[in-house]
Amino acid sequence: MDYCIGVDLGGTNIKAGVVELRSRRIVCKGSVKTRAPRPVEEISRDIVSLCESLAEEAGSSLSKMKWIGVATPGIVKDGIVISTSNLGWENVDLAGNIRALAGIKTYVANDANVAAYAEAVWGSGEGAESLIAVTLGTGVGGGIVIDGKLWEGKNGFAAELGHFIIERDGRACGCGKRGCLEAYCSATALVNDTKEMMKKYKGSLMWRLSEGSLDRVSGATAFRAAKEGDEPAQQVIDSFIEHLAIGVSNMINIFQPDVVCIGGGISGEGDNLLLPLKARVEELSFGIDSSRSSVVIAKYRNDAGIIGSALLGRRDEFIKMGAQTQSIIDKFAIEGKVLGAERYGLGHINETKYVEVENEGKIHKYILQKINKNVFKNPEQLMENYVAVTEYLRGVITERGGDPDRETLNAIKTVDGKNCYMDEDGEYWRLILFVNDSLSYDKVERPEQFYESAVAFGNFQYLLRDYPADTLYETIVNFHNTPDRFRQLMDAVNADKCGRLSEVEAEVEFAKAREEFAGTLERAREAGKLPLKVTHNDTKLNNILFDKSTGKPLCVVDLDTIMPGYSVNDFGDSIRFGATTALEDEADLSKVNFDISLYELYVKGFIEGANGGLSEGELEMLPIGAIMMTFECGMRFLADYLSGDTYFRTSRPRQNLDRARNQFKLVSDMEKALPEMRAIVKKYSEMA
């Protein structure tokens, strides 16, 4: 398990959560009262006690957490809280106190900096090289992230963005100066301005919205009234946005960051805040239209402290892993110093790292992978397929006027011209250009994504329609030979090497009942109905990269299983993964259902993407391909569970069994829906 704990230490509450780094989710969270001011030793004990209970709730223990990260108000340097009025501390070793009690690595940083880091790493600024976060809360906080690192300054005082002076001799600020951004753009200032305007205009809608009481005024009052056309409220909002635009424009003019991220409670106003702010910032700040700093709303709000503090240990790990990676990177035909590396993605098979390399002041990004020799018995043949197909695609994409650096993968040769590097332990490594400004999805979040992925995989078939499939190596023999997968399952059943057979008898009987069905595609091939084609053989949604800005598919990735095969297998693998209401390892089968509407979307997109390149026999067998791939994958998960989980990566006990049961549930659903599935294919094939 890749678990760590993030703690958001506030003046009122201590909030914490167990965060799984690979899946980017909060597994569980809780809170206790801070009861400040109290000595650091007492609050540290409460933090550790909360962390212990959350670790147990997550099915683990505190000693198994990778680290604890803490976000705290105040000035922080190297884990020392130099000063924080909220907690009444000066020069206390918060990190040291928690580390001594918990017995694991502990990191501490300023809460506004932590919120900025959360947005830069996983949030609205993910992938940006520089980000400024402005947090509009009781005060105005800020954080600066440059090249993945928090900029704290030499003394920890950096990024006090709320104390930019935007109006000489202006309003008094809590810091003792006058004219600070915080005096105009904090939630406190907004509430005060709203109240003053209400006193001047007794007929304002703001009175009704606050139930006739100034005590009920909130930061949302003026926004709500302005939305309904209240002029006094609009004056409050215009003044607030004007001052915020001045502050943000100053930040842009000094730093020219990729992203300015607006967070805090007021950011919940969304476009009502963002759209006029962006328009005014564009007028006040310097920049070129094609490459201006983006002003965005923060992704994380209430959980920013938990997420950001949980990620603090990532910085340290990123640098350490980078140092270990340098010797491997040196074997490839690139130059530069490795800045850092981290584990990347949720793949079951290969060990994957995201790597940043600096050369002549520019940062280059790569994906470094160790090829799993237990799965791929001949990595050199695999890489011959990989390079041959991607270079072919690069040529086709270039001819079509596309961007070959983003629309296909690009493998970097070793210094001696090979496709991969074998280290002294006999492990094989490959280096690939990172596709910038892209993202992938583990689950269909919007139906359009599934449709677009269908177009992408259909187009993948179309682009490779003239590639001689029979020249490719079969990197995993009988990979999608379902009768052979059935035989392997029966071998695992008979061996029962881990003594798990007694708990899977129902699943084994389910598979045995479909032994005859398992040979359907092979019989169609023998009858000449299924041609041999270049196939991807792992067409899950998360093997498509989407453009961050447009949401459109960029390229197909994870090409290890490029082999000769059947197009209906590629189609079917997407259906089993995407036309479902749950993730692949969902254990609660009541949540697992075949979604016929998503199936129809995918049929439409796949046929469109293939651009008339599917034969009559292929079209006829598409629904069978969907059931076959789901059945086959269920058998593979079940066989791996019986054999001790040696093939698919697992992050918890019985995960492969849950995957198998999940797939078999979908098979049952699809079998019932087969007539409707066939009718849908007929409908769109006639339209093509």
For residue 347, the model assigns a pLDDT of 61
SS3 at position 160: coil
Among 601, 610, 608, 573, CA closest to 680: 601
**Could you give the dihedral angle defined by the CA atoms of residues 35, 40, 44 and 47, in that order, rounded to the nearest 10 degrees?**
30
CB atoms within 10 A of CB 373: 12
Task: Check: CB of residue 62 under 8 Å from CB of residue 102.
Answer: yes
Strands 89-93 and 25-33: unpaired
Cα separation, 658 vs 583, whole angstroms: 11
Phi, psi (5° rounding) for residue 368? -110, 125
For residue 279, the model assigns a pLDDT of 94
Radius of gyration of the chain (CA): 28
For residue 265, the model assigns a pLDDT of 86
Cα separation, 111 vs 397, whole angstroms: 46
- Amino acid letter, residue 169: D
H helix and E strand count, the chain: 20, 24
Q: In 180-311, which ranges are continuous DSSP H helix?
A: 182-185, 187-200, 205-209, 221-227, 231-255, 271-284, 304-310
For residue 1, the model assigns a pLDDT of 61
Task: Check: CB of residue 11 under 8 Å from CB of residue 34.
Answer: yes
Cα separation, 491 vs 212, whole angstroms: 77
Q: Supply 186's token pair.
A: 């904090």
Mean pLDDT of each 10-residue bin along the chain, 688 residues long: 90 93 88 93 97 95 95 90 88 96 95 91 87 90 86 78 90 90 94 95 94 94 95 96 96 93 91 94 85 90 91 84 91 92 73 88 90 89 96 95 94 96 94 90 78 93 92 90 96 96 97 97 94 91 86 91 94 91 93 95 95 92 97 97 90 94 98 97 91
Q: Chain centroid to CA 316: how far? A: 20
Cα separation, 204 vs 233, whole angstroms: 8
Under 8 Å CB-to-CB from 529, ≥6 apart: which residues?
Answer: 615, 617, 618, 620, 621
For residue 129, the model assigns a pLDDT of 83
- Give the burial class of 189: count Cβ atoms within 10 A of its Cβ; 0-12 exposed, 13-18 middle, 19 or more buried: buried
Which residues make beta-bridge pairs with 111?
none
> 154's torsion region: left (phi>0), alpha (psi -120 to 50) or beta?
alpha
Q: Whole-prediction pTM value?
A: 0.67
Cα separation, 437 vs 433, whole angstroms: 13
Task: Check: CB of residue 405 under 8 Å from CB of residue 345.
Answer: no
Instruction: Sketch out the chain's domains with CATH numbers.
Output: 1-104 (3.30.420.40), 112-310 (3.30.420.40), 313-433 (3.30.200.20), 438-687 (3.90.1200.10)
Number of alpha carbons in the 13 Å side-chain half-sphere of residue 112: 30
**Could you give the dihedral angle defined by the CA atoms of residues 449, 453, 459 and 460, in that order, rounded to the nearest 10 degrees?**
150
For residue 360, the model assigns a pLDDT of 85
For residue 348, the model assigns a pLDDT of 58
Among 471, 454, 443, 458, CA closest to 592: 443
